[in-house]
């Protein structure tokens, strides 16, 4: 596919299309103990020797908690009309239950009002992984009580911000929290137990459904949805074992989340595979999970290639790799969106994250990150292609606004379209940011022209 070509012809993005940049609280805010914030499971996990590649943590990060105003000026200056951010649960309700922290809530109120004052719509995510440590001490997401604490948290945030945000996503990437956090254990809280991971996944989905119901009952005006990390799963060879394994892995990554959300049941093949490790599901849970939503957020970075013989070596794919070692495969985004559109009855989808880590170099105030420009351009082209084939898309958001704390990789991997010098906290727009700004200006001009010609 030549996605650059698609992009050149892609002037039909609707005027109301959300063009954004995305971040998350723990990755940029810093101020880990400021103004009454409680510890999260990531504050704890960062202290585990060897857990984070560069032994760093989120104590300072991008100092966004202090620099939010100038960061929002950068957002506005890019010309985006949407900004996706997350609320830190332990900043607004430090113990996950009990007292609320007024200073934390005030921060997000200033942030939301600051976005609106700059003409940028706030896209809020409630849970981007930083569970209050006190809840983890009681079992975390493996404990069904956490589901109810999450619903309270959703309502509390809605009380303060619900009238001004464009959308509320319950969770970011439940697969990551369940699988990396509880089965593989390389992410917080670092548990390695397949049965617990399956129960965690179920509780995340259940808390999503119950929170959506509770927010609707409150008369929430914002669009409600969830954000999943998804990818097309492909067999390494045509061998039957690779193909069978691919079906299962697709089940664990895609259908395990999509089926309950949009069909009301877990996929039978994955349930059978889990056997005794399958989660406990109580009466009414599946109906709650299937509560209709207004949007589905899709985070896409790469494809997943499966070999029954063991981990597949990405070098065999012959594709360019990002600095994460992930294959760059824009076609996969079109394939994924088409497949979701065909297999499920969906509300509009948003690409809520897409971007690449590359080895950037800052010279004389410029970062010539041409690989990232190409990456973003081709993936926007892939979205345009899906739309041309009939998929209903609401927006596209680049991950990420700023270089930031990339979880177990620490600060070594840079995803930002804005460079952050961590010593001085100076921000520099990379060439990808300049390209995106220019692209958005052309989009705006094209839709204005379409309005004046009545297209």
Q: Annotated catalytic sites, by residue?
A: 173, 353
Which residue number, 231 or 299, has a Cβ lying nearer to ligand IFM? 299
Least gap, CB of 190 to ligand IFM (angstroms) = 17
Which residue number, 64 or 245, has a Cβ lying nearer to ligand IFM? 64
Neighbour count for residue 342 (Cβ, 10 Å): 11
Of 152, 46, 144, the C-alpha closest to 96 is 152
The length of the chain is 455
Instruction: List the interface residues with ligand IFM, window 284-313 (CB under 6 A).
Output: 299
The correct pick among 123, 406, 411, 433 for binding ligand IFM (CB under 6 A) is 406
SS3 label, residue 235: strand
For 19-37, letters b (16+ CB in 10 Å) and e give bbbbbbbbbbbbbbeeeeb
Asked if 250 interacts with ligand IFM (CB under 6 A), we say: no
Asked if 369 interacts with ligand IFM (CB under 6 A), we say: no
The correct pick among 187, 266, 375, 399 for binding ligand IFM (CB under 6 A) is 399
Largest distance between two CA atoms of the chain: 63
Instruction: List the interface residues with ligand IFM, window 348-367 (CB under 6 A).
Output: 353
Least gap, CB of 23 to ligand IFM (angstroms) = 9
Distance CA 385, CA 6 (A): 7
Does residue 354 contact residue 318 with C-beta atoms inside 8 Å? no
| Total H helices, total E strands in the chain | 17, 14
Neighbour count for residue 134 (Cβ, 10 Å): 19
Written as six digits, the tokens of 184 are 């593989």
Which residue number, 151 or 230, has a Cβ lying nearer to ligand IFM? 230
Least gap, CB of 223 to ligand IFM (angstroms) = 20
Distance CA 412, CA 325 (A): 13
According to DSSP H, which parts of 276-324 are helical? 285-289
SS3 label, residue 438: helix
Asked if 24 interacts with ligand IFM (CB under 6 A), we say: yes
Least gap, CB of 27 to ligand IFM (angstroms) = 6
Contact mark string toward ligand IFM, 150..189, x via CB under 6 A: -----------------------x----------------
3 state SS for 151-173: HHHHHHHHHHHCCCCCEEEEEEC
Least gap, CB of 252 to ligand IFM (angstroms) = 18
Does residue 227 contact residue 352 with C-beta atoms inside 8 Å? yes
Written as six digits, the tokens of 238 are 């045509």
Which residue number, 71 or 406, has a Cβ lying nearer to ligand IFM? 406
Does residue 214 contact residue 154 with C-beta atoms inside 8 Å? yes
Number of residues that bind ligand IFM (CB under 6 A): 8
**Interacting residues toward ligand IFM by CB under 6 A:** 24, 27, 173, 299, 353, 399, 406, 415
């Amino acid at each position: 596919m030549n996605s650059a070509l698609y992009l050149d012809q892609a002037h039909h993005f609707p005027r109301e299309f959300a063009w954004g940049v995305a971040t998350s609280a723990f990755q940029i805010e810093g101020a880990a103990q400021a103004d009454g914030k409680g510890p999260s499971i990531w504050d704890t996990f960062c202290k585990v020797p060897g857990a984070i590649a560069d032994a760093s943590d989120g104590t300072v990060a991008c100092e966004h908690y202090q620099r939010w105003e100038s960061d929002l000026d950068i957002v506005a200056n890019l010309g985006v009309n949407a900004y996706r951010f997350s609320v830190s649960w332990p900043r607004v309700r430090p113990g996950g239950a009990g007292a609320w922290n007024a200073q934390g809530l005030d921060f997000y109120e200033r942030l939301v009002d600051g976005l609106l004052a700059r003409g940028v719509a706030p896209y809020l995510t409630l849970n981007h992984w930083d569970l209050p440590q006190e809840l983890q001490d009681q079992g975390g997401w493996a404990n069904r009580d956490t589901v109810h604490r999450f619903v309270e948290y959703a309502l509390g945030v809605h009380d303060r911000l619900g009238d001004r945000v464009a959308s509320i996503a319950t969770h970011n990437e439940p697969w990551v929290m369940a699988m990396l956090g509880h089965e593989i254990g390389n992410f917080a809280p670092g548990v390695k137990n397949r049965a617990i991971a399956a129960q965690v996944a179920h509780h995340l989905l259940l808390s999503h459904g119950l929170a959506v119901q509770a927010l609707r009952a409150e008369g929430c005006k914002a669009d409600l949805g969830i954000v999943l990390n998804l990818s097309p799963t492909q067999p390494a060879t045509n061998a039957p074992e690779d193909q069978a394994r691919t079906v299962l892995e697709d089940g664990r990554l895609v259908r395990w989340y999509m089926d309950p959300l949009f069909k009301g049941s877990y996929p039978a093949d994955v349930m059978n595979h889990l056997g005794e490790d399958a989660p406990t599901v109580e009466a009414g849970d599946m109906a709650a999970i299937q509560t209709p939503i207004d949007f589905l957020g899709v985070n896409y970075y790469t494809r997943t290639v499966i070999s029954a013989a063991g981990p597949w070596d990405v070098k065999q794919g012959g594709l360019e790799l990002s600095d994460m070692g992930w294959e760059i495969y824009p076609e996969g985004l079109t394939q994924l969106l088409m497949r979701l559109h065909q297999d499920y009855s969906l509300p509009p989808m948003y690409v809520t994250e897409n971007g690449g880590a590359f080895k950037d170099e800052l010279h004389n105030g410029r970062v010539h990150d041409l690989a990232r420009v190409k990456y973003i351009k081709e993936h926007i082209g892939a979205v345009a292609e899906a739309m041309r084939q009939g998929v209903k898309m609401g927006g596209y958001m680049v991950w990420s606004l700023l270089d930031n704390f990339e979880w177990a990789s620490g600060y070594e991997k840079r995803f930002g379209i804005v460079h952050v010098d961590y010593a001085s906290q100076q921000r520099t727009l990379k060439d990808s940011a300049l390209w995106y700004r220019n692209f958005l200006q052309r989009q705006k001009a094209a839709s204005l022209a379409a309005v004046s010609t009545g297209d």
